[in-house]
């Protein structure tokens, strides 16, 4: 079973080794790794060339969701997921666990797990984004599993449709709404930290989290025919606070 991993990047020479190295060290070997590059002007191509199993294609800079759709269209794995530049698979057996889940259940449509935030410069571990307690009803409050941990069967993605490209940061939330909105789909939570995600990206910036994130989530809810109530979106901040408290207790 080939699993495709798509990495979007623009001028990623400072962090691409971190990302590509985490894929090359996976115990599961049947991986197709594609880098979608926005015509970088730095040494991105040279770094990709160090990894013989990685293929790079260039694409005009038309937004992250355009890059993801382009990557999906140019890969062929039965299962696919995304690992952005400056993020890394959290351990060497992540893709092994993904492959086993799909192999054990031929009717499984998608999986997801936990994510840990890390410092972009030191890779120091921070808050864990816990997905174990997620329930689909929480989507109305803007809560969803961490998108970088999503691995989906290609046939399922073809049914659900590609990422909507007119979002800046919430095309993934729109995708979660469609995945969980189709009650015929089977999903599974993997009890492991799957991705180390660097802070400082577009979705983690303060303005994005407090304004763009909420505006676009309301838009996605309406687009999918669901109640869009601004006050309900406050629920996700309670989840974040809970995770901070949980991690503080864990580290003591």
**pLDDT reported for residue 38:** 94
**pLDDT reported for residue 224:** 96
Q: Is 247 helix (H, G, I), strand (E, B) or coil?
A: helix
In 3-state terms the chain splits into helix, strand, coil percentages (rounded to 5) of 40, 20, 35
How does pLDDT run across 72-95, given as a tens digit for each residue?
999 999 999 999 999 999 999 999
Residue spans of beta strands (DSSP E) within 90-229: 110-118, 125-129, 151-153, 187-198
Q: Which of 178, 151, 186 is nearest to 75 (CA)?
A: 151
For the chain, the average pLDDT equals 91
**pLDDT reported for residue 251:** 62
46 pLDDT more than 70: yes
**pLDDT reported for residue 3:** 98
Q: Is 29 helix (H, G, I), strand (E, B) or coil?
A: coil
| Burial annotation 9-41 (CB, 10 A radius, 16+ → b, else e) | bbbbbebbbbbbebbbebebeebbbbbbbbebe
- How many Å from the N-terminal Cα to the C-terminal Cα in the chain? 42
How does pLDDT run across 124-163, given as a tens digit for each residue?
888 899 999 999 999 999 999 999 999 999 999 999 999 9
Q: Is 126 helix (H, G, I), strand (E, B) or coil?
A: strand
């Amino acid at each position: 079973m080939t699993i495709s991993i798509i990495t979007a990047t623009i001028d990623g020479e400072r962090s691409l080794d971190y990302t590509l190295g985490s894929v090359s060290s996976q115990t599961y070997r049947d991986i197709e790794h594609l880098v979608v590059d926005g015509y970088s002007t730095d040494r991105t191509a040279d770094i990709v060339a160090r990894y013989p199993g990685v293929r790079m294609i260039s694409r005009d800079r038309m937004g992250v969701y355009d890059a993801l759709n382009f990557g999906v269209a140019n890969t062929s794995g039965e299962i696919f997921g995304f690992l952005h530049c400056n993020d890394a698979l959290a351990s060497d057996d992540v893709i092994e666990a993904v492959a086993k889940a799909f192999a054990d259940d031929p009717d499984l449509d998608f999986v997801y797990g936990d994510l840990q935030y890390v410092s972009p410069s030191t890779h120091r571990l921070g808050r864990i984004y816990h997905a174990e307690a997620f329930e689909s009803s929480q989507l109305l409050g803007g809560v969803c599993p961490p998108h970088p941990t999503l691995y989906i069967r290609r046939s399922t993605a073809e049914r659900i449709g590609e990422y909507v490209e007119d979002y800046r940061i919430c095309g993934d939330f729109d995708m979660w709404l469609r995945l969980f909105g189709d009650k015929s789909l089977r999903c599974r939570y993997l009890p492991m930290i799957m991705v180390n995600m660097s802070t400082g990206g577009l979705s983690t910036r303060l303005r994005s989290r407090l304004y763009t994130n909420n505006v676009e989530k309301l838009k996605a809810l309406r687009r999918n025919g669901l109640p869009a109530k601004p006050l309900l979106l406050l629920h996700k901040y309670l989840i974040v606070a809970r995770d901070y408290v949980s991690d503080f207790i864990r580290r003591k």
